[in-house]
Amino acid sequence: MVPSLLLEVMLIFFLGIGSQWVAWRYRMPAIVVMAVTGLLIGPILGFINPEEDFGNLYHPIISVAVAIILFEGSLNLSFKELRGLGKPVFRISTFGAFIAWILGSLTAHYIAGLSWAVAFVIGGLFIVTGPTVIMPLLRQSKLKPRPAKILKWEGIIVDPIGALLAVFAFEIIAYLTANDPDGTKLLMFLAASIFAGIFGWFCGRGIGWMFETGYIPEFLKSPAVFTVVILCFTVADEIMHETGLLSVTAMGITLANMGISSVADMRHFKENISILLISAIFIMLTASLQLETILHIFSPSIIGYVILMMFLVRPLSIFVSTIGTGLTFNEKLLVGWIAPRGIVALTVSSYFATILLAAGYPDAEILTALTFGLVFFTVIAHGFSIGWLAKKLNLSVEGRPGTLIVGSNVFTVELAKSLAKVNVPIIIVDNSWERLKVAREAGVPFYHEEMLSEQTEYHLDTMPYEYLIAATDSRSYNSLVCTTFMPEYGRTNVFKVSPYDKVYGTTTEIVSKVGGRILFRKEVNLEDLIDKINNGFVLRQTTITEQYTYKQYRDEKDEETVFLYIIKPSGQIKFYSEEMRTVPSNGDIIVSLMPRNKEKAKIQARLESE
């Protein structure tokens, strides 16, 4: 056992983020790595048992963390995303959820052997997927926008619905089995659910209004939002258990659709907090399991139940509910397969196991094992299969990581053409139709819109593009674009042309120090690159081998040559940058901008020597 609670907290966060890193480094599903890590340090090796060690604080910590995670997910649910997807999302979240509830309850009764009362409670809970498991899978698989948005919306909306269905089923059962039936509790549940939704909307509108009118300073906005989220969840949950999830979801959706810029500014910070909480909570939940529970999940009844839930209940509910919605067969097949269960299922099932046992249902003892079995098997099966299945169904963004170029001019068009030759997805974005003439005439993919506008965010599919290059004639705009998209693309994948000034030798502007890495060389700005293209410079590929080393290649080039990027044998692109020291190795292809005449002369000399 870990000697102190402080050391245990450190270990949970360290292993949670460490699991995320291992998953990223070796391209594995993060939720699988976290689940295995939690099992190893908990029931298998016995290092920690958070449920025992944290005592009475364990369940409140889990509940607040789930509320924040669900709020962060719902904060991304803008109704503008639903253009063309409103019908399938609505059907899946309502009719599909109802079908999954009924079929799941029947399966729990006839296959898992649960009583009707317990089966309908757990059947309602198991319709959930949730952002804790869906978001990591979407980041990993790079799905096309339609199926990705459907899975995201379903996961966030159905999470509170599943918890409420379980509570509703329990209240119905308590009402029907009571010696003296009293509908007061049932009416209280319905009233509490309505109150939770309205209270969440009120909290969202209230905090949004305070942001817009300046009643909250910038440095307090993030702390204020988190405080109101906890307030919103706690008030609703104290009135009726599990309605707090509905309340924070309503608050998040309300804020997401108010169009407040400061909310968008905080989104990446909240996403980082959410990733930290998901990592820690998943470790805590799996580490708190008992070894007997883990062994119990391999019983024939639980395995049979899990198989039917995965291969019959989920696909059938999706295919039936999406009839006439315009989804293709491949999209239905993918959405019908992907339904991993996560933190909400684990936390809520433990609550219902307790109250059902207290209510006189002894078969509720297996709920924890049943829930973990469904969570573990779905996380592994869907985590490892989503990428492969998406490619087979042509629903993933395939090919090499692409490059998005902001700014249309003769240099960016030539750069885009060279990238396209090696099958790198490219697109040029510019708000000037006149400047885009160069791209149009060259047949380069383009998008006519302001890169920083809200329209671009919802209409331009940025999924295929891993790199962003800002190459307009405005230094300030380039820095602004890079700063805006740095959280999305990553600091090492965002570039801008050099803000170098020929007159002063170097720029004293602040834009040289913020937003993005300087592309190529600091001394070569956009004007230089355009001049070189206009003066006949060409882009050439050269392969580095044992016979023709990188040192030889550099020695042959003069000062006018600009090294642009390297193509690794794996297909990865590495752009030359002032802040990155890139050293090519054998098998790498270097693309450079060089004088046409000098290149011809060198080629001729080499041919003559051979």
* DSSP string of 137-190, one letter each residue: HHHHH-B-HHHHHHHHHHHHHHHHHHHHHHHHHHHHHHHHH-SS--THHHHHHH
579: CATH: 3.40.50.720
pLDDT of residue 545: 79
Final residue of a structural domain among 392, 413, 448: 392
Do 19 and 157 belong together in one domain?
yes
Q: Is residue 536 part of a domain?
A: yes
Q: Is residue 397 part of a domain?
A: no
Do 185 and 108 belong together in one domain?
yes
Do 359 and 424 belong together in one domain?
no
Do 371 and 446 belong together in one domain?
no
pLDDT of residue 502: 60
Q: Is residue 317 part of a domain?
A: yes
pLDDT band at 567 (very low <50, low <70, confident <90, very high): confident
Final residue of a structural domain among 355, 372, 392: 392
Residue 240 gets which letter from DSSP?
Answer: S
Do 439 and 531 belong together in one domain?
yes
Do 138 and 170 belong together in one domain?
yes
- Please tell me which residue, 605 or 130, carries the higher pLDDT value: 130
Q: At 517, list the tokens.
A: 């890495």
Half-sphere exposure of 551 (CA within 13 A, CB side): 2
- pLDDT tens, 539-549? 888 787 777 77
pLDDT band at 231 (very low <50, low <70, confident <90, very high): very high
pLDDT band at 268 (very low <50, low <70, confident <90, very high): low
- pLDDT tens, 39-83? 888 888 888 888 888 888 888 888 888 788 778 777 767 776 666
Residue 603 has pLDDT above 60, yes or no: no
51 Cβ contact list (under 8 Å, min separation 6):
58, 284, 288
Do 473 and 600 belong together in one domain?
yes
DSSP string, 397-424: --SS-EEEEES-SHHHHHHHHHHHHTT-
pLDDT band at 5 (very low <50, low <70, confident <90, very high): confident
Q: Is residue 375 part of a domain?
A: yes
pLDDT of residue 234: 92
pLDDT of residue 604: 56
Half-sphere exposure of 265 (CA within 13 A, CB side): 10
Percent of residues, the chain, with pLDDT higher than 90: 5
Do 495 and 386 belong together in one domain?
no
Mean pLDDT score across all residues of the chain: 80
Residue 206 has pLDDT above 60, yes or no: yes
Residue 8 has pLDDT above 50, yes or no: yes
- Pair type for strands 589-594 and 538-543: antiparallel
Candidate ranges 120-124, 197-201, 284-288, 367-371; pick with highest mean pLDDT: 197-201
Do 150 and 49 belong together in one domain?
yes
Q: Which of these ranges, 180-184, 213-217, 373-377, has the smallest mean pLDDT?
A: 180-184
11: CATH: 1.20.1530.20
pLDDT of residue 581: 65
Do 407 and 529 belong together in one domain?
yes
Q: Is residue 563 part of a domain?
A: yes
Give the residues across from 496 on adjacent strands.
470, 518
**What does the alpha-carbon distance between residue 1 and residue 41 come to, in Å, rounded to a whole number?**
10
Residue 519: closest CA among 482, 476, 477, 556:
482
Q: Is residue 239 part of a domain?
A: yes
Q: Is residue 23 part of a domain?
A: yes
Residue 221 has pLDDT above 60, yes or no: yes
Residue 283 has pLDDT above 60, yes or no: yes
- In degrees, to the nearest 5, what angle opens at C-alpha 402 toward C-alphas 401 and 403? 135
Q: Count how many domains the chain has.
A: 2
- pLDDT tens, 314-353? 999 999 988 888 888 988 998 888 888 877 777 777 777 8
Q: Is residue 206 part of a domain?
A: yes
Average pLDDT over residues 102-123: 88
Residue 180 has pLDDT above 60, yes or no: yes
**What does the alpha-carbon distance between residue 495 and residue 493 come to, in Å, rounded to a whole number?**
7
pLDDT of residue 601: 55
What residues make up the domain containing 536?
Answer: 402-609
Phi and psi dihedrals of 446, rounded to 5? -145, 165
Specify the long-range contacts of residues 477-484, CB closer than 8 Å, at least 24 apart: 478/406, 478/407, 478/511, 478/515, 478/516, 479/511, 479/514, 479/515, 479/516, 480/452, 480/515, 481/406, 481/451, 481/452, 481/515, 481/516, 482/514, 482/515, 482/516, 483/514, 483/515, 483/516, 484/452
Q: At 30, list the tokens.
A: 């993060």
Give the residues across from 468 on adjacent strands.
404, 494
Do 37 and 165 belong together in one domain?
yes
**What does the alpha-carbon distance between residue 591 and residue 562 come to, in Å, rounded to a whole number?**
9
pLDDT of residue 492: 78
DSSP string, 365-384: GGHHHHHHHHHHHHHHHHHH
pLDDT of residue 582: 65
Do 347 and 419 belong together in one domain?
no
pLDDT of residue 261: 64
Q: Which of these ranges, 5-14, 212-221, 466-475, 595-604, has the smallest mean pLDDT?
A: 595-604
pLDDT band at 508 (very low <50, low <70, confident <90, very high): very low
Final residue of a structural domain among 392, 419, 448: 392
